[in-house]
Chain A
Amino acid sequence: MSFFARFAQNRGALVGLIILLLIIAMAILAPLLFPESPWRMVQRPFLPPLSQDGFPLGTDTMGRNVASGLMHGAWVSLLIGLVSTSVALLIGVPLGAIAGYYGGIIDDVLMRFTEFFQTIPNFALAIVLVAIMQPSITSIVLAIAIVSWPPVARLVRAEFMSLRNREYVEAARLVGQSNTTIILRQILPNTLSPIIVLASLMVATAILLESALSFLGLGDPNVMSWGYMIGAARTVIRQAWWLSFFPGVAILLTVLALNLVGEGLDDALNPKLSRER
């Protein structure tokens, strides 16, 4: 069975993929449909949804267009989710590979280091990091990456430990390949499937983390994000439910879609380990 056929067998994954494509389309179309900055005050504040043409989701406390914010926010969420996951992979994969391949003291030291980061409460650490570095896209990406690399390191380490004594690795060693070559060209390609599955779930978690940070007022002050929209509407929930409702649905759908896609990828990449019994 082809890769996509296996993926499509999981109906949830297919639904997830469609939702995800729609959200990507939202992100791409945002600057075309709403060329104006989502921060601009364009109408009177607290306009309910569907009450005026051009403002399908109404306006917020400052008279900004909610629909525009929602679409521009899609771009920010996806960007931060993808970039912070890539940075986390850049930290976690090498650490896990080295620990798993060499073992011994190197493994001990690296794993103590990883455990230390796993003990610290994730979200509290992210808050402290962003607050100290000052909120910006860069600091948010860094903070999310710093709190989310340990599971990557653990996964890659476990994979390397189970693969490092396989025959093809022994063969590569006999031929005289260097450790670096063996790690990069022989073992790493064989660990890609679980890494890809984990990464897709990490993007989802990163989006949740970003929204929570912006909700607390730690978002980049220059970009409109879903978490910020909900945070800014928190105190006016009695007057204007729509201000926090729609961005929340957007986060929920995105995170849900990514999780569904992740499960589908798992089925497609690891056919032996199908979860449904």
Chain B
Amino acid sequence: MVYARLILMRLFKAVIVLFLIVIFNFLLIQLAPGDPAAILAGEAGAADQEFLNQLRERFGLDQPMYVQLWRYISGIAMLDFGYSYRLGVPVFDLIMDRLPATLLLTGTAFVLSLVLGIVAGSMAAARVKKPSGSLIMALALVFYATPLFWVALMSVMVFSVYLGWLPAYGLYTVGAGHTGFALVLDVVKHLVLPATTLALFFMAIYTRMTRTSMLDAAQQDYVKTARAKGLKPSIIQRRHVLRNALLPIITLAGLQAGQMVGGAILTETVFAWPGIGRLMFEALQQRDYNLLLGIFFFSAALVIVFNIITDLVYSLADPRIKKGAA
């Protein structure tokens, strides 16, 4: 019951946010430079008035503003994001085509960064004031400060060009005709570099957060009690400190979802990973505004879905939340 209410509340909020983004998107389309029909015609090489009008009519650009807004909103409500002006393909189809690759990349990077970050953070917390602990924190700070796209490029240079260990581009080897397990292995090989470079930045954040959170939790009374009753330090650290320290990390992980999407745009661009991030880069280069805004809407929707999931995980992990929600 409680969960149903929580989910309903969050969904209601999500719908409002998405609605606002749709309106925001529509305003941005109006601000976009030039008449899309003229851009299209110029691209096609024919600029006579007749053709322009035809294009305007086809894309509904001849209607008054409020009609266009209504069309836009009702279109999106039915998952119709319009056409990519440049490719002549529905934006929704393009995005759906690319979504799985992005989910694979961001999902892998998310799990990787969370696991490694929590491990590194706990190690640093257990080694406060020791050189090894400071080293972990220094590394975390360096990863935090390194531009993602640069790490991506450098790892291509070292691991693909110089060492030749891993493929640098794409989702799988084109033309190799792998199937079954060989295909999975091939995709995993292609995934290693993009997922690792995307994970580094977030790993740095989780490392710092875990350390702070664990040091905080170690000050609590229940830890003193556990120590007083003579539990082994390693058990206290695992059962009492880490478990309680994880809660703020779950919250933080939810907040990082938006950053993850942004990171994916850069990583996918460098590794030619066929996800929506790469699609956004292509839309950008071709000034395909409708496609660009469609992807923008979708990335926001992704973040919201992810936030709802983290909220649920959080309420499962911390039963006290139920009282707050009821």
Q: Which residues of A contact B (CB under 8 A)?
A: 116, 118-125, 127-129, 131-134, 204, 208, 211-212, 215-218, 227, 230-231, 234, 237-238, 241, 244-245, 248, 251-252, 255-256, 259-260, 275-277
Q: Is B300's CB under 8 angstroms from A256's CB?
A: no
Q: Is B149's CB under 8 angstroms from A124's CB?
A: no
Of chain A, the residue at the smallest CB distance from B300 is A120
Q: What chain A residues lie within 8 Å of B307 (beta carbons)?
A: 119
Q: Which of B142, B157, B303 contacts A237 (CB 8 A)?
A: B157
Q: What chain A residues lie within 8 Å of B20 (beta carbons)?
A: 116
Q: What chain A residues lie within 8 Å of B258 (beta carbons)?
A: 118-124
Q: What chain B residues lie within 8 Å of A116 (beta carbons)?
A: 17, 20
Task: Say yes or no for B284: interface residue by CB 8 A criterion.
Answer: yes
Q: Is A248's CB under 8 angstroms from B150's CB?
A: yes
Q: Is B154's CB under 8 angstroms from A245's CB?
A: yes
Q: What chain B residues lie within 8 Å of A277 (beta carbons)?
A: 128, 215
Q: Is A124's CB under 8 angstroms from B145's CB?
A: no
Q: Is A244's CB under 8 angstroms from B296's CB?
A: no
Q: What chain B residues lie within 8 Å of A123 (beta carbons)?
A: 258-259, 261-263, 265-266
Q: What chain A residues lie within 8 Å of B150 (beta carbons)?
A: 230, 244, 248, 251-252
Complex: A173 Cα to B147 Cα, angstroms: 48
- 17 sampled A-B residue pairs with Cβ under 8 A: A116-B20, A119-B17, A119-B304, A120-B300, A124-B262, A125-B296, A127-B265, A131-B289, A132-B33, A215-B266, A216-B266, A216-B281, A216-B284, A237-B156, A237-B157, A238-B157, A255-B147
Q: Is B148's CB under 8 angstroms from A237's CB?
A: no
Q: Is A248's CB under 8 angstroms from B147's CB?
A: yes
Q: Is B265's CB under 8 angstroms from A132's CB?
A: no
In residues 276-304 of chain B, which contact A (Cβ within 8 Å)?
A: 280-281, 284-285, 287, 289, 292-293, 295-296, 299-300, 303-304
Of chain A, the residue at the smallest CB distance from B266 is A212
Q: What chain A residues lie within 8 Å of B289 (beta carbons)?
A: 131-132
Q: Is A134's CB under 8 angstroms from B284's CB?
A: no
Contact count A vs B, C-beta below 8 Å: 130
Complex: A212 Cα to B146 Cα, angstroms: 11
Q: Which of A128, A216, A238, A276 contacts B296 (CB 8 A)?
A: A128
Q: What chain A residues lie within 8 Å of B296 (beta carbons)?
A: 124-125, 127-128
Q: Which of A124, A133, A248 contacts B154 (CB 8 A)?
A: A248
Q: Is B293's CB under 8 angstroms from A212's CB?
A: no
Complex: A17 Cα to B31 Cα, angstroms: 42
Q: What chain B residues lie within 8 Å of A238 (beta carbons)?
A: 157, 161
Complex: A230 Cα to B154 Cα, angstroms: 11
Task: Say yes or no for B41: interface residue by CB 8 A criterion.
Answer: no
Task: Say yes or no for B144: interface residue by CB 8 A criterion.
Answer: yes
Among the interface residues A127, A227, A276, which one has the most CB atoms of the partner chain B within 10 A? A127
Known A-B contacts A120-B258, A121-B258, A122-B259; the reply to A204 vs B293 at CB < 8 A is no
Interface string of B252-268 (1 = CB under 8 A from A): 00010111011101100
